[in-house]
Amino acid sequence: MSDRVEKGPTTRKRRSSISGAAFANATLKQANGKFAVSKNNKVSNLKQDGNSSSKENVYESPVTAAEDRGKNEILYFGKLSCHKLQESLLSSASGYSNYRGILNWCVVMLVLSNARLFLENLLNYGILVDPIQVISLFWQDPYSWPSACLVIVSNVFILAALYTERRLSVGTFSEQFGTTVHCVNLTTILCFPMITILMLDSVTPVGGAFALGVYTILFLKLYSYKDVNKWCRGIQHAKARTLSRSISCPAVQRSSRGERQDKVSYPGNLTLRDLYYFAFAPTLCYELNFPRSPRIRKSFLLRRLFEMLFFMQLLVGLIQQWMVPSIQNSMKPFQDMDFSRMIERLLKLAVPNHFIWLIFFYWFFHSSMNFVAELMQFGDREFYRDWWNSETVTYFWQNWNIPVHKWCLRHFYKPMLKRGVSKLMGQAAVFLVSAFFHEYLVSVPLKMFRLWAFMGMMAQLPLAWFVGRFLRGTYGNAAVWISLIIGQPIAVLMYVHDYYVLNFGETGAA
C-alpha cells in the first residue's frame, strides 16, 4: 500500500509534465522523417521526477494527442512553405565561388575556337613551317656570324670589370677613378653592339636582337657587380675589418653540429670563377654568396630540357604558320588606311600573338631559367610570381619578371628614394628606363627608330593610374588582361608595317 501511495503522485507528475507546460516547451526535431522530443525536455522531466525509475517511464511514455497535433502542423507548414531568404548564385552577395564548370567550359571553347582557326589556316595557306628558314634568320652567310662574334667579344667587358675591381680592392685605383672606368665600360657595352649592328648589313634582325639581349643582360649584371663591391668596400673601411659576408647575404648559418659553413668575404670574391658564375647565373643581382641547391636533380633537368626543345619548336611553328600570314594580310589595310579592316586584322592577330607570348613566358621564365639554375645549382628559383592575378598594372610589372624587378628595386628605385626623390617620380623613372631598353632591343636590330615600344611602355603610367583609381578586383584584372592581349599586337603591327614599307615598299607595290 505504501508503494502505491508513493508511486501515485509520481505518475501524476509525469503525466502533467508531458501533457502540460513541459510539452509546450518541448522542441520537435525531424531526422530522417521522424520526430523526437528534444533532449532539454527530457532533462527537465528528469529533474521533476527526481529518480531513475521516472527516467525510464519518460522514455517509454506513449505519444499524446498534443504530439500528434504538433507533427501534423509541422508537416502542414512544411508542404506549404518552400522559400527562404537567399541570393542568386551569380550574385556577389551569395558568397558562391565554385565556378570550376564554367572555367572548364571556357577552356573547351578556347580549344575548339583555336582548332577551327588552325584548320582554317591550314586550308588557306597549307603547311608553312620551315626549320631551314629559321636558321637563315640568324645568319645569311654560313661563313660570317657577326652576332656570334659580338657575343664572344663581350668577354672583354667582363674582364675589364674584374680588373677594375681588383685595382680598387688594393687601393691602386681611387674610388672616383674606378667609378669613371666602370661608367666607360658600361657605356661601351651599350654603344658598341649598337654601332656594329647599324654599320654591318650582314647582321640579321633576329641575330642582332639576340646579341643586344646578351649585352643588355651583361650591362645590368656588371652594374650590380660594381655596386655590391662598392658597398663592401664602404663597410670594410667603416668597420676597419674584413667582412664575413656580403651586405646582401643572409646571416651565416650553422649546421646542426655547429660547424660554420664556408662563406666568401670581400675581396676574396674577386676571382674569374666567381664573376663567370654570376655571368651565367639566372639572376641580375650580384651577391658574394648565392643560395645553392644541394645537388643536381637529373630527372628535373631532363624535364626542363625536353620542355625547352618542345616549346621552341612549337613557337617557331606557330609564328610561321599562324602569325606571319596574319601580318602579311594586314599590310594592305594599313596602306589604304581602312580603319575597319585594320581593327579586324588587329583582333585576328591578337589571339595568336597572345598565345605565343604565353608560351614564350613559360619557355623562358620556367623551363629555360630553371634548367640553367639546376645545372648551376642556383637556389633561388623565384623567377616570376602570380602576375596572372594582377588587379593593377603596377602589380603585373612587379611580378611577371622578378630578376628585372629585383634589379630595379635594389640598384635604381631605392637609391633614388634615399636621395630624396618621391615615390611617384621614382616609379616614372623606372618606367622610363624600361621604355628605353624596350626600344633599344627592337629599333636597333630593325635599323629604324619609330619609338612605338618606348611610347607603349610610357603609356603604362596613365593606364596604371586609371586602373588603380577606378577599377578594382575582377575589373582591374580584366583591364590588365585586355592591355596585354591588345597592346602587344598594336606594337607588332606598327613595327612590321614600318619595316615592310622601309625595306619592301616598292617590291610590294609592284
Question: Residues with catalytic annotation?
Answer: 438
Bridge-based pairing of strands 34-37 and 28-31 is: antiparallel
How far apart (Å, rounded) are the C-alpha atoms in residues 41 and 403?
69
Partners of 37 in the beta sheet?
28
Residue 283's contacts (CB-CB under 8 Å, 6 or more residues apart) are: 290, 378, 380, 403, 406
Would you say 333 and 342 are in contact if contact means Cβ atoms under 8 Å apart?
A: yes
How many residues can be counted in the chain?
510
Looking at residue 35, what DSSP letter applies? E
| Burial class, 213, CB count within 10 angstroms (exposed 0-12 / middle 13-18 / buried 19+) | middle
Would you say 169 and 267 are in contact if contact means Cβ atoms under 8 Å apart?
A: yes
Looking at residue 31, what DSSP letter applies? E
The distance from CA 144 to its chain's CA centroid, rounded to whole angstroms, is: 39
How far apart (Å, rounded) are the C-alpha atoms in residues 85 and 26?
27
Would you say 469 and 392 are in contact if contact means Cβ atoms under 8 Å apart?
A: no
Would you say 172 and 267 are in contact if contact means Cβ atoms under 8 Å apart?
A: no
Q: In this structure, what C-alpha cell is assigned to residue 245?
A: 659576408
How far apart (Å, rounded) are the C-alpha atoms in residues 224 and 232?
12
3-state helix, strand, coil in the chain (%, to 5): 70, 0, 25
Helix axis angle, 205-239 relative to 146-170, nearest 10°? Answer: 10
DSSP 371-388: HHHHHHTB--------GG
How far apart (Å, rounded) are the C-alpha atoms in residues 450 and 453?
8
Helix (H/G/I), strand (E/B), else coil: 99: coil
| Burial class, 6, CB count within 10 angstroms (exposed 0-12 / middle 13-18 / buried 19+) | exposed
